[in-house]
Amino acid sequence: MSTSTRPYADIPAARQQPHLVTLNAVGNAGLAAVFLLLALWIAIPSVFTSYDPLSGISAEKLLAPSLSHPFGTDYLGRDLFARVVYGTPLTLLAACVAVPIGMVFGSVLGLLAAGLGGVTETIIMRFVDILLAIPGFLLALSLVAAFGPSVVTLGVAIGISTIAPFARLTRSEVLRVSQLDFVEAAYLSGHGRLHILFHEILPNALGPVLAMIAIEVSQAILIVSALAFLGYGNPPPSPEWGMLIAEGRKYLATAWWITTFPGLVLIVAVLAFAALSKKLQAFGRL
Amino acid sequence: MTDPDIILDIQNLLVARPAGAAGPPILDHVNFALRRGDFLAIVGESGSGKTTLAHAIIGLLAEGVTVKSGQIRFGYTDLLTVPDHRLTRIRGAEIGFVPQDPATSLNPVKTIGAQLSEVFRLRARSWGGTNKARCIALLEQVGIDQPERRLKQYPHQLSGGQKQRVLIAIGFALNPRLLIADEPTSALDVTVQKQVMTVFDRLVAEHGTTVVFVTHNIALAADHASRILVMRGGKIVEGNDLAGILARPVDPYTRLLLESARSDSRPTPRRAVSDGAIIEVESLVKVFDAKARLTRSHPPLTAVDHVSFAVRPGSTFGIVGESGSGKSTTARMIIGLESPTAGHVRFNGQDITRLPRAEQRAVWRDIQLVHQNPYASLNPRAKIGEIIASPLRAHGIGSAVFRAERAASLLEQVGLPRSLLARRPRELSGGQRQRVAIARALALNAKIIILDEALSALDVVTQAQVLDLLRALQEELGLTYIFISHDLTVVKQFADDIAVMHRGRLVEIGPVAEIFERPATPYTRSLLGALPGQRLAEAVFAITA
Amino acid sequence: MKAAHQGRRAIVYLGRELAQAASVLLGAYTVSFVAIHLLPSDPITNFLVDNGMALDPDTIAKMKLYYGFDRSAYEQFFTQLWGIVHGNLGYALSTGRPVLQDLSDVLPSTLRLAGASLVLTLLLTFSIVTTASLTNIKWLNRTVYALPPLFSAIPTFWLGMVLLQVLSFRWRVLSLFPDGSWMSLLAPAFVLSVHLSAPLSQVMLKSVDAAWQQPFVNAIRAKGASRSWVYFRHSLKYAAGNGITVLGLLVGGLLAGAVVTETVFSRLGVGRILQDAVANQDIALVQAFVLIIAALYVVVNFAVDLLYPLLDPRIVMDRDQPTEAGMI
């Protein structure tokens, strides 16, 4: 209400607060290691295991974890570790490709809504609301019902369902940053709208969006594997992680490792992306 | 040996910064004693430690901030060693607290009545009737109208002054021996501040409370306190009773504070300002939300109501007023950031009202603006050099090399070293950032600069420095300033002519000396009368007489 | 005059929310309708082909007539809409029975699961947030803060299977198939609540933290309030608004989780119907589901929007209007 403000202490902001990003060396190294490992599993799986993920030796079925089979074997004698490694791209790529694509569409929509305002904004945001009302899981089921089960179908569904959250976030961030004084100052300097958008607004608005990509990927991984668990991913013998966990169902009592290990790997992957998101958030605030 | 008359005794208080933060301790071996009946004002700026001191006494330090050593004796108790539950009992009943910023010191989702009666509900089991009667009595004491109705309202339905009165009522509710007031009026307009302080003084007199009053305004402190402590950088630089401080200030910082507050200090007279009008404002009107709509949420607001004035070239034209006066909106209409509902703005005779964008851009080569908040007016992701050269880039002037050189020379012109060119805003202090903003405004050789509360966010020392810079630049470059401010003291030191605005109307206009010495309208008179500093002026008068 | 203005504001708010809800519903219907009709061939042919039945033109014609697919797209749009408004969601291709009937058979079981897990979610969130806010024990505080991110990373189906294994095989407190006992409801509800509580806990933790940072907290403590008083009587209410907003958004997640959990614990429910529909490529049935969930989402969020002003009175009442008494 009143325009009188308390005088700020005349100390640079950088000195006033302890450094926001806890650049924990060990944590960062661990995180990088996990991503590196996952990337390598996708790129050169044969380096990590010499077993064939798709066929096994029936004499070796249902073996407990050991040195030769770190994750044990399944009911067909297939090495579980090999199946997990080869299953990585099926689970991760769908999420890692679909989410950024959804982000691009969503952010463009959000940007248009924020930038153009008026009726355009209302129409766009209403459309976004509609998309939000349809959960990605259900959308995936609809697509599977129409086109048959496959990981690509799941990916498309995930991609479509992330458009709405990104549209909302981008719009609110762009609106927030546009209110800041330096944007007005750029306007006063004589810059055109486009320049201001790309130079002043977007660099300061995209931080939270980047963080959201990571967290959406982590949730997408969970959704994809849940759908694979239900049988809507690639048909067997495809080694998607969700499918692996499903296969362990009959052997819960006897061969607990078939369910447990793929699950643990899944959890680690999801946690890694979630942790990445936190780091990006802190980085964006600097 | 404890003197029974000493109600608060602080010894060697050391409060360190949270782990990981750089800098000296927040409170560096602070020592003082308070007698019963004292009204102690702790004067200092942001970062001086005065707020931390107030919070330390009542035990409400921020997370991570801890007392490393020292004693806070309250009567016979050491508040630092007393168990938590006992401290909770002491708060409110024996030591009261009035926080600053009424806008955020009341829970927005609870009613006034709930928050007022909370003081009682925390202690006794009495519900309903007696509490309500007590609350109504309290509200009447602080001069709030229709108390019964107010109890059911939410904080956002009350004005700033009313909210502060409620906070004062809460502070005095249990009649504590000691009351700590943490900048209770800093967020209020000057006239409201005067009313609220009147209430405060009355309650102090009625209850005989000992007061610790924290403020950044030494004039305000002088008007009400019996003793003054001046703090800077975590230390007490000077402490004395009122007469002593005013008559014989020892520390140079104290002297600086007193001088800046005196408002009758004028710089050496400048070259005479020529007549004529570089900017003319004719019957400007701005009405917000004017169109009739079915879904309209509030009635249209007339922010600026037929304002007219002329600005002499090379002068500083001050527009003063309290919040909601329309001064900022008027300035923004001059520069074209708001489009007037009616009226005209002329620059050197040419009509510059409501121009299409291309021509408006051309006007911005001659008229520029410096914003209030140095922490929001620079792109955090850009380098200082880019920020200053940005207007040159926008208008396609010169090569990259030329622009870099121009940015460097502008930086020097505002008194900053070239080495800052490659830095980012977060490495600069508030005062430095404001200088960068000024350099940017000068990039295109603007002739008129609008300073929209550009000094309000700076501390006294920095304010003085930036003011000196602005004066020097005006001399050197023949600049015209339009200076928006709510701080009359600064305006008196800086402006040549002043326009006083109130609720959208231009109340009074004239040369600065006239306005201050012979205010013509009742509003201006009440505005000037509400300015703290009466005792300051009297003391000075007494010395110089 | 002021009261009339406030009343009008409330009506405007209500009206706006209603219009928004209605337009979203209509939009969802339109989108799904368009999507289905963009498919290469009509649902009936798809259904017959995928189920290995002969494409006898006579049969096809009869089915089209029965299911109403013989009319033009525009006609179908409005006829279906009219039907929906009257509670007629069409017939499932695979069973030939009305969709609503199929649903109502299994709905109670799913609702029980959903209700139980909602209760557990609230309990879990409340425990986490309260412990984190009130405890002074550092390690406990840190552990509790680390729980929500962990919970959101654990796949529901995996947790369900692990729990099933432990409870059924190791401890033998749960039978493999639902037998109406408490445990057989509690176990899947718990599994579901773990995942649901994660985003809710995170938002509430953040909001309660934000509430604690507010200046008014100092003012309250200065009156002599203890930390738990501030937490229970102030922070929670201040943070509640964010909490119920998140709850509204969890509707979609609740369905996904229910389908998965029902599968793991072999429970009969909406999930079974849905999966059968997908397996049979019964697109119309899946479309019905989409509409139902969208409607549920809209209704729940509408309710949240209605509740919100009760928690935060600034929303409907005037935020920006100049105050009554002026500046005094």
DSSP for B487-537, written as a single string: -HHHHHHH-SEEEEEETTEEEEEEEHHHHHHS--SHHHHHHHHHSS-HHHH
Inspect the interface and report whether the beta carbons of B459 and A181 lie closer than 8 Å: no
Torsion of CA C253, C258, C261, C267, to 10 degrees: 180
Whether the predicted pLDDT of A257 surpasses 70:
yes
> What are A's interface residues with C at a Cβ cutoff of 8 A?
126-127, 129-130, 132-139, 141-142, 144-146, 218-219, 222-223, 225-226, 229-230, 232, 242, 245-246, 248-249, 252-253, 256, 259-260, 263, 266-267, 270-271, 274
Return mean pLDDT, chain B: 88
- Which residues of chain B does C327 touch, with a Cβ-Cβ cutoff of 8 Å? 159-161, 189, 191-192, 322, 324
pLDDT classification of B180: cutoffs 50, 70, 90? very high
**What are the φ/ψ torsions at residue B503 (nearest 5 degrees)?**
50, 45
Inspect the interface and report whether the beta carbons of A8 and B391 lie closer than 8 Å: no
CA of A274, closest CA in chain B: separation in Å?
25
**Confidence at residue A110, expressed as pLDDT on a 0 to 100 scale:** 93
**Confidence at residue A145, expressed as pLDDT on a 0 to 100 scale:** 82
DSSP letter string, B175-214: --SEEEEESTTTTS-HHHHHHHHHHHHHHHHHHT-EEEEE
Inspect the interface and report whether the beta carbons of C317 and B90 lie closer than 8 Å: no
Whether the predicted pLDDT of B384 surpasses 90:
yes
CB neighbour list of residue B408: distance below 8 Å, 6 or more residues apart: B385, B418, B421
Whether the predicted pLDDT of A214 surpasses 50:
yes
Inspect the interface and report whether the beta carbons of A259 and C297 lie closer than 8 Å: no
CA of B185, closest CA in chain A: separation in Å?
10
Return mean pLDDT, chain A: 83
| Mean of pLDDT values over A85-105 | 90
- Which residues of chain A does C255 touch, with a Cβ-Cβ cutoff of 8 Å? 135, 137-138
**Mutant choice from A129, A221, A256 vs C, greatest count of C C-beta within 10 A:** A129
DSSP letter string, B226-283: SEEEEEETTEEEEEEEHHHHHH---SHHHHHHHHHHHS---PPP-SPPP-S-SEEEEE
* Cβ atoms of C12 and A112 closer than 8 Å: no
Residue type for position B151: L
Question: A with B: how many residue pairs have Cβ under 8 Å apart?
Answer: 140
Q: Which other chains touch chain A, taking contact as 3+ CB pairs less than 8 Å apart? A: B, C
Q: For residue C265, what is the nearest residue in chain A, using CA coordinates?
A: A249
Most confident range (mean pLDDT) of A55-59, B284-288, B530-534 is B284-288
CA distance B103 to C239: 18
Confidence check on the interface: ipTM exceeds 0.90, yes or no: no
More confident residue, B112 or C294: B112
CA atoms within 13 A on the CB side of B512: 21
Whether the predicted pLDDT of A239 surpasses 90:
no
In terms of C-beta density within 10 A (0-12 exposed, 13-18 middle, 19 or more buried), how is residue B128 classed? Answer: exposed
What does each C-alpha distance from C287 to B311, C89, C293, C294 come to in angstroms?
A: 70, 10, 10, 10
Whether the predicted pLDDT of C201 surpasses 50:
yes
**Mutant choice from C134, C138, C234, C328 vs B, greatest count of B C-beta within 10 A:** C328
Inspect the interface and report whether the beta carbons of C222 and B123 lie closer than 8 Å: no
| Mean of pLDDT values over B187-209 | 90
CA distance C328 to C326: 6
| Interchain CB contact of A179 with B (< 8 Å) | no
**Confidence at residue B312, expressed as pLDDT on a 0 to 100 scale:** 92
Task: Note the pLDDT tens digit of each residue in B220-233.
Answer: 999 999 999 999 98
Whether the predicted pLDDT of A103 surpasses 70:
yes
* % of chain A with per-residue pLDDT over 70: 90
- Which residues of chain B does A190 touch, with a Cβ-Cβ cutoff of 8 Å? 361, 364-365, 391, 394-395
Q: In this structure, what token pair is assigned to residue C2?
A: 């002021």
Whether the predicted pLDDT of B408 surpasses 90:
yes
CA distance A141 to B531: 71
Inspect the interface and report whether the beta carbons of A138 and C293 lie closer than 8 Å: yes
**Mutant choice from B355, B369, B429 vs A, greatest count of A C-beta within 10 A:** B429
* % of chain B with per-residue pLDDT over 70: 94
CB neighbour list of residue B225: distance below 8 Å, 6 or more residues apart: B39, B40, B41, B213, B242
CA-based nearest residue to B369, from B331, B395, B401: B331
Task: Note the pLDDT tens digit of each residue in B521-544.
Answer: 999 999 988 888 877 777 765 555
By Cβ distance, the residue of B23, B187, B368 closest to A15 is B23
CA-based nearest residue to B527, from B321, B324, B326: B321
**Mutant choice from C49, C170, C254, C278 vs A, greatest count of A C-beta within 10 A:** C278
Q: Give the pairing type, strands B480-485 and B316-320.
A: parallel
Inspect the interface and report whether the beta carbons of B109 and C223 lie closer than 8 Å: no
Q: For residue B144, what is the nearest residue in chain C, using CA coordinates?
A: C328
Whether the predicted pLDDT of C52 surpasses 70:
no
Task: Note the pLDDT tens digit of each residue in B43-55.
Answer: 998 888 899 999 9
Task: Note the pLDDT tens digit of each residue in B488-526.
Answer: 888 988 899 999 999 999 999 999 888 988 999 999 999
| Interchain CB contact of B201 with C (< 8 Å) | no
| Interchain CB contact of A188 with B (< 8 Å) | yes
What does each C-alpha distance from B42 to A188, B37, B221, B238 come to in angstroms?
A: 42, 16, 8, 10
> How far apart are the two ends of chain B, measured CA to CA in Å?
44
**Confidence at residue A2, expressed as pLDDT on a 0 to 100 scale:** 31
The DSSP secondary-structure symbol of B370 reads E
The residues that bridge with A276 in the sheet, in sequence order, are none
- Which residues of chain B does A184 touch, with a Cβ-Cβ cutoff of 8 Å? 337, 371
- Which residues of chain A does C39 touch, with a Cβ-Cβ cutoff of 8 Å? 146
How many residues in chain B?
Answer: 545
Q: Give the pairing type, strands B95-98 and B367-370.
A: unpaired
**What are the φ/ψ torsions at residue B14 (nearest 5 degrees)?**
-125, 120
pLDDT classification of B364: cutoffs 50, 70, 90? very high
CA distance A61 to A63: 6
Inspect the interface and report whether the beta carbons of B55 and C238 lie closer than 8 Å: no
Whether the predicted pLDDT of B41 surpasses 90:
yes
CA of A9, closest CA in chain B: separation in Å?
5
| Mean of pLDDT values over B382-388 | 93
Task: Note the pLDDT tens digit of each residue in B145-159.
Answer: 889 999 999 998 898
- Which residues of chain B does A192 touch, with a Cβ-Cβ cutoff of 8 Å? 394
| Mean of pLDDT values over C300-316 | 80
Inspect the interface and report whether the beta carbons of C314 and B108 lie closer than 8 Å: yes
Token pair 């050189």 in the structure block, residue: B405
Q: Range with the lowest mean pLDDT among B118-127, B282-291, C136-145?
A: B118-127
By Cβ distance, the residue of A6, A190, A199 closest to B361 is A190
Inspect the interface and report whether the beta carbons of A18 and B21 lie closer than 8 Å: yes
Task: Note the pLDDT tens digit of each residue in B411-459.
Answer: 999 999 999 999 999 889 888 999 999 999 999 999 999 999 999 888 8
CA distance B403 to B439: 13
| Mean of pLDDT values over B251-274 | 73
CA-based nearest residue to A126, from C306, C299, C31, C84: C31
CA of A118, closest CA in chain C: separation in Å?
16
Return mean pLDDT, chain C: 79
Inspect the interface and report whether the beta carbons of B105 and C238 lie closer than 8 Å: no
**Confidence at residue A265, expressed as pLDDT on a 0 to 100 scale:** 92
**Confidence at residue A91, expressed as pLDDT on a 0 to 100 scale:** 87
The residues that bridge with B499 in the sheet, in sequence order, are B319, B509
* Cβ atoms of C185 and C285 closer than 8 Å: no
Q: Range with the lowest mean pLDDT among A78-87, B27-36, B396-405, C61-70?
A: C61-70
Q: Give the pairing type, strands B279-288 and B301-311.
A: antiparallel
The DSSP secondary-structure symbol of B12 reads E
| Interchain CB contact of A185 with B (< 8 Å) | yes
**Mutant choice from A5, A10, A17, A210 vs B, greatest count of B C-beta within 10 A:** A10
Q: For residue B20, what is the nearest residue in chain A, using CA coordinates?
A: A18
Q: For residue C280, what is the nearest residue in chain A, using CA coordinates?
A: A145
| Mean of pLDDT values over B304-315 | 93
Question: B with C: how many residue pairs have Cβ under 8 Å apart?
Answer: 119
More confident residue, C85 or B256: B256
| Mean of pLDDT values over B393-420 | 92
Token pair 């040996």 in the structure block, residue: B1
**Confidence at residue A9, expressed as pLDDT on a 0 to 100 scale:** 42
| Mean of pLDDT values over B361-384 | 93
Q: Range with the lowest mean pLDDT among A102-111, B281-290, C23-32, C50-59?
A: C50-59
CA of C206, closest CA in chain A: separation in Å?
14
More confident residue, A102 or C26: A102
Q: For residue C165, what is the nearest residue in chain A, using CA coordinates?
A: A252
Element (H, E) at B482: strand B480-485
Inspect the interface and report whether the beta carbons of A12 and B368 lie closer than 8 Å: no
